[in-house]
Each structure stands twice: as C-alpha cells, then as structure tokens.
C-alpha cells in the first residue's frame, strides 16, 4: 500500500513540475541556510571548549580610569598571577602570555619570514590550557631562557618534519632551542600561536604592579565562585598596588585616588566568554560578538520559519484545486483514512526531497561559505548534535503539518459537495493568510534595513576620514635589523629615488603596532587629580608629513628649533582633557622617562603643536589622549610614495636595503593593508549577513508568489465575471494588488520600529558610526513594495489576460 502511495505521490509531483519545484526549492533553500548558520553559530559557541579545564579558567582584566583615559584592558601586571597564586589557595595555577612586541622575523634557510603568530609564555601555559605535545615535555619546555615551543605547522614549515625537538630556530637573529612541538592550536581558540618563546627572554622591568602588559590567566579550583573571588582584588590593590602607586604619585590612600575621579578595578573574564563577550584591549586575536550570534540565530530561525510557512501555504493552496479529485475518489469508495495517508505521504515525500537537496547544497556551498566567513566548518561537526536531530525531525514535521490540511479538511467533506465545487476553502479572506503575508514582509523589511545599515556602517569605516592618509604608505619592518645610523642612511638613500615623497623613522603607527601609555601631569606635582595618562609615540621630524596628519594649532617639530627634544605635540583629545584653550607654550610634566629608574624626578615638556585627532584604534573605540615626542625609534621606516608600480618600487628599495644592511632580513607591508586587517572580520560578518538577508528575501518572494497564485486561482471565476462585465486588465490588476499592498504597508509600519531598535543597538558598539537615515526605511519599504507588486502583477496580469470563457467554464 505504501508503495502505491509513494508511486502516486511521485507522479503528482512530476505532473505539477513548476509548483513542486517552487515548493521544494523554497524549503530546500531555507533548510540549507539553516544548516550553514547552525554550523556557524555552533562554531562560534564552541570557542575554547576544547580546554579540559575550560569552566575554571579566567583571564584577569583591568578597568582603569586615570588621567582622562578610560581603559578596558585584557591584560594585567606581570606579578599579578604569581601574587594571586601565592595569597589565595583557590588559585590552582596561573600563566601569562606576553604578546606586546608584535611580529618577529624568523630565519628559514637564507630568507627571513615575518611571523605574527608569536608570543612569550610561561611554561605553566600547558598546565592551564589543553595544548597537547607531539614531542618534548611541555611542563618544563619554557622554563629556561632561549627556548621555544612550536606548533606542528611551524615545525613542518621550518624543518619539514614534526620531529623538531632539540633543533635551533633563529628568531630576530637570536638562536632558540626547540623544546617541544605541540599540536596546532584549534581554530576555535581565542588565541593562535605557532611560536611560544620563553618568558625569560622578555626584556622588561619585572615586578611592576602599575604597568599592564601581560595576558594573565588563572585556573581556579573546581567549585570556586569567581564572582566571590573577585572581591579579593580589593586586598591585592591595598597590599601590593597602593605602595607602588604612592611612590610616583602623591596620594595618601586609594580612596583619595578614587575620589579624584579615577578607577582601578580587576575582574575575572571566564575563558568561555572571551570569544563572544570580550571587546577589550589588547585581544590576542580578533574576537567575535555575541550580537552576531543573536542576529544570525534570529535570521536562521526566520528563514526556516518563512520556508516552512511557504511550504504549508503552497501545499494547502494546491490541495484546494484537488478538491474534485478527492470527490471522485470518495465516490469511487476510497476510505477517508486512505486519503489522509495519501496526502500526508505526498507532502512528506516533498519535504524529505527538500532535506536531501538542502544537505547536498550545503555541502556544495560550504567551501564558498568558509571562504567568505573565514571559518573551516564541516558538515561533520553537526552530524551527531541536536541540530542533526532537528534537521531530520523538521522536514517530517513540516510535511505532516502541510499535508494535514488537505488530508483532514478535504477528505472530511461529503463527496457531492466537493464535486460541485461548492466548498469554501476557508482561506480566501482569512486573517491567518493576511497575518502570514504581513509576517513575511515584516521579516523582509527588517532584513533589508539591517543589511543597508550594516553595509553603510562598514562602508563608513572603510572610507571615513581617519585623520591620516593610509594610501600609498610603504612600511619597511626594520626592527632590530638596523642601528640608528644605518636607518638614517637607508631613509636618506630611499628618499633620493623617484616616486618617494617623504619618509619617517618610527615604529609607532596608527595601525596595529606597539604602544606605551605614560603618565603626565598638568602641574609640577604628580597627584591623583593632575594626572593625565596617554600614549606617547616617539617620532621624527617627517612623521606628521609622511602620515598625512594635520597640525591644527602651533607647529610640527622642526630642526630650526634646537629645543624640540623637550617639545611635545598633543592630539585634540589630550588638549580637551587638559582643558587648555590655547595650549601652545604650556608645560606638562612626565614622571616616566625612558631608562630612568627614579620615578620621582619629573621631566618638563613644552606643548609646541596640536595634531588633529586621528583614529589609531578600531572605530569601535573613541580617540583617547595621545602625545608625540621627538626622538629616534627605529622600529619601522615608512615612506609616502607616489607611483602606480608599487611592486617595482619595492624591488628597488630592497636593493638599497641589501647595500646598506647586507644579510639583514627585508620585510615590508602597505599601510592600507594593515588597516584593512583591523576590519576584515567585521567585513566578513557584514558579507555573510547580506547574503543571508538576500536569501531570506528570495524565499519570502517564493512564498508570496505561491500565495498570489493561490489567491488568483481562487478568484478565477470572479475575474471572468468581471471581465465579461467590462473590467479592463488594469482594473483587475489594481483589484488583485490592492489587498497585498495594504498588507505590505502594515508590515512596514510594524517593521520600522523593530529595525530601528535592532540596528541602533548594533551601532552602539561603534564609537564612530553612521546615523540611521529615514531613507533606509523608505528604501526597504520600496524594495518590499516593488517585489510584492512585481510578483502580484506577474500573476494578476496573466489571470486578467486570460479568456474569460475559460475561467467561467471552470465552474
């Protein structure tokens, strides 16, 4: 019997090819999107869970408001971890990562490769995190100076084998002994390093509670409530931090420090929250945002819901046209239960076909999706999860529900009534149908507005005036390779070449690079009220010119003024915090000096100029106070160039380099690329969002098409009568469209506030953001309207053009 049902079901699908394909394609697209998003979201939620102790690992974060600067740090001071372990038995272990130095050059054969997945770490890293070794003993691997632990990938890259233990790797011209090879860190980790150097090699004034530069993780004993544990930080501050703070700042107590409007707080960030909830500075890798998980989950559910509703609508719509078939079957003696089974089999078969197509499609587009989203997802990862169960259950459920209307409704009628075509299918003017159409358009309009806002915001980030010019700036990474004279010689040699406009020597760049915060004061006395904490960048005379920054008051550093070594240029944000209307010539004082160990001696700087605020962090953050000081910092040599043939230029520059610094590694990057790196993750998410929005809209259109088809079929007779009575084609199209347009209008009215609210909260994360314009809404409503009109008109014109004789004969 089942065989017969299946045979008839397939035959029916085949006979109504267009209807069946719309229905199957719609549902398949919906399920496919759902699979992809489910993979994406599952992956986002899986971060750091591979660590056996994941539930008990916490990062020590600091919130510092000091001297006009509000810092939300992901780093802590170097003695913090050890102090916590010593004083509090709840702390089972601690470990630190020091990643402030950025990328390093590693020698492979005769070439140098710029590796950025590199950091210094304590050997306890492997006690806290689950990073299994393929070779060597990680427990002790980093205890000695000049040791390095590398990943499987790094081992293969540099040694061609994973058996690299005992071999030597040259990092920044210095030999390190490989003491262990670990498995690659899983992609769903909040940090990714291929090279871990011994903490003993960090050149740093250890023991300083006031400088925050180390990512510090603690492993709490199971059962410890971290919220309760956080209260201990008050003791730590009093016992260890206050005595050090008192040395360089004239405060009598921490309360005095706080009452001046300052803040120093430590918090624990659960490891499992880092990837989705942490937007601090500096993160070890670009984190995602829980908002995107919410947005994508909502989009996935919406898409699936729309697809299912469409499937049911279309199946139901078609069943009405099969009323006659039901009547005949009943007259011929078919039992009701057989009819029910027949209809249920048909819709379930269709749903299951959709599932297969969806899985195939997901498998096919997954590489593309991975490419866009920069993930390495595989279908396998959801094969045994609850998502898989849902995937199988869902089509069956949809099939059963979609089939149940014709199954139970039509089969229950008296055959003679059905045969006479007198049944009212109860769907024609129902509020249910209206609600479904409103829901579809509501979803589409919200998604269109969301897409427009995301697109505009990302575009704004790419094109906004950053306060410096990032185009055509060539950065030569010269860290450690050149001494002062050599870097000057190199800069001057390159400047002689055509196509080079200017050059500057400084490692402080307004893209990801090394940073230092120094403390200044307005008066010659350093106390809690006077303090101004800001970044200090050491630059040369040509820096502002090369970076295309703008002096708004005073002047740039100049060789004509012999006193500029004690001059300082501030950004507008710093001037604002100081409260100076006319800052030029005013003095500020710094207690930190390069290389000095006497924190109480203050150095005086005179403000010579004010530079227009420029963005040196992500646009998600505000511009904080910053100062430029004249000096020699040979980290990078940057050139403003003016040429189309950049590759050719790089070759010539490299040739110069080889003359001045023979045997020294040459590596370079372009500033706009470095800048793009900051926003690449954001751009990817934007792209994914746009793609899914478009798919959702497509599915909604398919559904609308189905509904319009159904409605028009229902009104065939009416259309015929009206035509006979003299209605023109435009008359009829207006009549058929009017109802739908009303529904689109209602959907827009509901969608606008929802979209406004949702997008406003998304934009809230950006310190620099677009405003939501009224025309976004108009555009979305217009698009929805055009889609609705196009769909309705397509069917309506066809129906209206038909010969009325045909439609009256269907009676």
Residue 11: how many CA atoms within 13 Å on its side-chain side? Answer: 7
Q: Which stretch binds another protein (CB under 8 A): 7-15, 441-449, 666-674, 726-734?
A: 726-734
Pick from 399, 400, 405: nearest CA to 323: 405
Q: Does 417 bind another protein (CB under 8 A)?
A: no
- Taking the complex as a whole, how short is the minimal distance between the CB of residue 314 and another protein, in angstroms? 23
- Taking the complex as a whole, how short is the minimal distance between the CB of residue 807 and another protein, in angstroms? 10
Position among 225, 255, 560, 811 found at the interface with another protein (CB under 8 A): 811
Nearer to another protein, 71 or 423 (CB): 423
Q: Does 495 bind another protein (CB under 8 A)?
A: no
CB atoms within 10 A of CB 487: 23
Position among 717, 756, 783, 789 found at the interface with another protein (CB under 8 A): 717
> Cα(594)–Cα(518) distance, rounded to whole angstroms?
10
Task: Give alpha helix (H) positions in 54-112.
Answer: 80-87
Nearer to another protein, 522 or 722 (CB): 722
- Judge whether 248 and 526 are in contact, CB under 8 Å: yes
> Cα(123)–Cα(110) distance, rounded to whole angstroms?
30
Residue 497: how many CA atoms within 13 Å on its side-chain side? Answer: 22
Q: Does 795 bind another protein (CB under 8 A)?
A: no
Q: Which stretch binds another protein (CB under 8 A): 4-12, 94-102, 557-565, 713-721?
A: 713-721
> Cα(547)–Cα(473) distance, rounded to whole angstroms?
8
Scan residues 520-579 and list those touching another protein (CB under 8 A). Answer: none
Nearer to another protein, 359 or 808 (CB): 808
Q: Does 727 bind another protein (CB under 8 A)?
A: yes
3-class secondary-structure state, position 58: strand
Q: Does 431 bind another protein (CB under 8 A)?
A: no
Nearer to another protein, 655 or 805 (CB): 805
Nearer to another protein, 573 or 808 (CB): 808
> Cα(486)–Cα(553) distance, rounded to whole angstroms?
34
Q: Does 720 bind another protein (CB under 8 A)?
A: yes
Nearer to another protein, 168 or 803 (CB): 803
- Judge whether 20 and 13 are in contact, CB under 8 Å: yes
3-class secondary-structure state, position 70: strand
Nearer to another protein, 75 or 719 (CB): 719
Size of the site for another protein (CB under 8 A): 19
In sequence order, which residues have a C-beta less than 8 Å from that of residue 564 and are 6 or more positions away? 557, 558, 608, 630
Q: What one-character DSSP code corresponds to residue 245?
A: H
Pick from 151, 254, 147: nearest CA to 193: 151
Q: Which stretch binds another protein (CB under 8 A): 41-49, 113-121, 555-563, 720-728?
A: 720-728
Q: What one-character DSSP code corresponds to residue 628?
A: E
Q: Does 430 bind another protein (CB under 8 A)?
A: no
> Cα(28)–Cα(702) distance, rounded to whole angstroms?
12
Q: Which stretch binds another protein (CB under 8 A): 126-134, 182-190, 407-415, 715-723?
A: 715-723
Residue 806: how many CA atoms within 13 Å on its side-chain side? Answer: 8
- Taking the complex as a whole, how short is the minimal distance between the CB of residue 380 and another protein, in angstroms? 51
- Taking the complex as a whole, how short is the minimal distance between the CB of residue 707 and another protein, in angstroms? 18
Nearer to another protein, 320 or 690 (CB): 320
Scan residues 658-687 and list those touching another protein (CB under 8 A). Answer: none
Burial of 741 (0-12, 13-18, 19+ CB in 10 A): middle
Q: Does 15 bind another protein (CB under 8 A)?
A: no
Position among 21, 558, 731, 764 found at the interface with another protein (CB under 8 A): 731
Task: Compute the CA torsion angle 35, 41, 43, 47 (nearest 10 deg).
Answer: -170
- The residues that bridge with 178 in the sheet, in sequence order, are 148
CA-based end-to-end distance of the chain: 34
Burial of 16 (0-12, 13-18, 19+ CB in 10 A): middle
The bridge status of strand 517-521 relative to strand 587-590 is antiparallel
Q: Which stretch binds another protein (CB under 8 A): 27-35, 209-217, 696-704, 718-726?
A: 718-726
3-class secondary-structure state, position 471: coil
Nearer to another protein, 651 or 809 (CB): 809
Nearer to another protein, 79 or 720 (CB): 720
Q: Which stretch binds another protein (CB under 8 A): 254-262, 290-298, 478-486, 796-804?
A: 796-804
Position among 718, 768, 789, 797 found at the interface with another protein (CB under 8 A): 718
- Taking the complex as a whole, how short is the minimal distance between the CB of residue 803 and another protein, in angstroms? 7
Nearer to another protein, 595 or 726 (CB): 726
Report the interface residues with another protein, using CB under 8 A: 429, 717-718, 720-728, 731, 801, 803-805, 808, 811
């Amino acid at each position: 019997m089942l065989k017969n049902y299946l045979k008839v079901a397939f035959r029916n699908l085949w006979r109504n090819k267009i209807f069946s394909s719309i229905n199957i394609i719609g549902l398949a697209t919906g399920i496919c999107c759902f699979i992809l998003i489910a993979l994406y979201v599952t992956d986002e939620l899986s971060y750091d869970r591979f660590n056996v102790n994941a539930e008990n690992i916490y990062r020590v974060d600091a919130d510092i408001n000091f001297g006009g600067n509000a810092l939300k740090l992901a780093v802590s001071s170097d003695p913090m971890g050890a102090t916590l372990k010593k004083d509090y038995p709840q702390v089972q272990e601690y470990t630190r990562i020091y990643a402030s130095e950025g990328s390093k050059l590693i020698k492979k054969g005769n070439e140098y490769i710029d590796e950025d997945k590199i950091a210094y770490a304590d050997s306890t890293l492997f006690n806290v995190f689950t990073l299994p070794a393929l070779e060597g003993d990680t427990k002790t691997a980093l205890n000695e100076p000049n040791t390095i632990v590398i990943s499987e990938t790094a081992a293969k890259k540099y040694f061609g084998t994973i058996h690299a233990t005992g071999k030597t790797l040259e990092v920044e011209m210095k030999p390190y002994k490989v003491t262990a090879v670990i498995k690659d860190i899983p992609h769903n980790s909040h940090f990714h390093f291929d090279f871990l150097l011994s903490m003993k090699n960090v050149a740093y004034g250890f023991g300083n509670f006031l400088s925050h530069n180390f990512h510090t993780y603690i492993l709490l004993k199971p059962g410890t409530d971290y919220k309760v544990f956080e209260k201990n930080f008050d003791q730590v501050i009093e016992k260890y931090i206050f005595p050090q703070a008192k040395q360089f700042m004239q405060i009598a107590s921490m309360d005095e420090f706080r009452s001046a409007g300052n803040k120093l707080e430590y918090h624990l960030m659960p490891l499992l929250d880092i990837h989705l909830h942490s937007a601090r500075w500096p993160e070890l890798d670009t984190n995602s945002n829980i908002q995107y998980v919410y947005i994508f989950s909502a989009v996935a559910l919406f898409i699936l819901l729309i697809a299912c509703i469409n499937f049911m609508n279309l199946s139901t719509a078609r069943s009405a046209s099969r009323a006659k078939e039901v009547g005949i079957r009943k007259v011929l003696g078919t039992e009701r239960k057989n009819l029910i089974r027949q209809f249920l089999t048909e819709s379930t078969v269709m749903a299951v076909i959709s599932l297969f197509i969806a899985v195939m499609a997901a498998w096919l587009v997954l590489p593309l999706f991975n490419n866009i989203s920069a993930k390495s997802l595989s279908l396998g990862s959801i094969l045994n999860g609850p998502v898989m169960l849902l995937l199988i259950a869902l089509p069956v459920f949809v099939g059963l529900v979609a089939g149940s209307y014709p199954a139970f409704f039509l089969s229950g009628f008296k055959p003679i009534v059905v045969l006479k075509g007198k049944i009212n299918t109860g769907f024609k003017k129902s509020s249910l149908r209206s609600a479904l159409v409103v829901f579809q358009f509501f979803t589409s309009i919200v998604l269109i507005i969301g897409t427009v806002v995301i697109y505009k915001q990302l575009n704004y980030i790419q094109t906004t005036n950053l306060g410096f010019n990032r185009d055509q700036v060539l950065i030569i990474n010269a860290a450690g390779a050149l001494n002062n004279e050599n870097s000057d010689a190199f800069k001057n040699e390159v400047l002689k070449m055509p196509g080079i406009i200017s050059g500057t020597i400084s490692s402080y760049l307004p893209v990801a690079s090394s940073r230092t915060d120094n403390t200044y004061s307005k008066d010659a006395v350093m106390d809690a009220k006077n303090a101004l904490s800001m970044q200090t960048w050491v630059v040369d005379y040509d820096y502002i010119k090369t970076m295309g920054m703008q002096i708004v008051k005073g002047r740039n550093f100049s060789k004509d003024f012999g006193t500029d070594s004690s001059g300082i240029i501030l950004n507008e944000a710093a001037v604002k915090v100081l409260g100076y209307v006319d800052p030029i010539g005013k003095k500020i004082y710094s207690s930190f000096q390069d290389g000095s160990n006497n924190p109480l001696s203050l150095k005086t700087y005179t403000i010579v100029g004010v530079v227009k605020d420029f963005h040196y962090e992500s646009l998600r953050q505000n511009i904080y106070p910053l100062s430029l000081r004249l000096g020699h910092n040979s980290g990078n040599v940057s050139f403003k160039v003016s040429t189309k043939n950049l590759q050719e230029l790089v070759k010539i520059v490299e040739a110069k380099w080889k003359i001045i610094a023979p045997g020294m590694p040459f590596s370079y990057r372009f500033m706009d690329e470095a800048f793009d790196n900051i926003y690449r993750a954001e751009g990817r998410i934007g792209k994914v969002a746009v793609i899914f929005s478009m798919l959702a809209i497509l599915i909604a259109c398919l559904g609308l098409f189905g509904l319009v088809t159904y409605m028009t079929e229902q009104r065939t007779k009416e259309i015929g009568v009206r035509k006979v009575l003299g209605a023109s084609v435009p008359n009829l199209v207006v009549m058929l469209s009017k109802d739908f347009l009303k529904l689109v209008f209602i959907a827009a009215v509901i969608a606008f506030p929802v979209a406004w609210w949702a997008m406003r909260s998304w934009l809230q994360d950006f310190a620099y953001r677009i405003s939501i314009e009224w025309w976004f809404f108009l555009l979305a409503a217009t698009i929805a309207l055009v889609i609705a009109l196009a769909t309705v008109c397509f069917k309506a014109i066809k129906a209206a053009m038909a010969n009325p004789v045909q439609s009256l004969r269907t009676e």
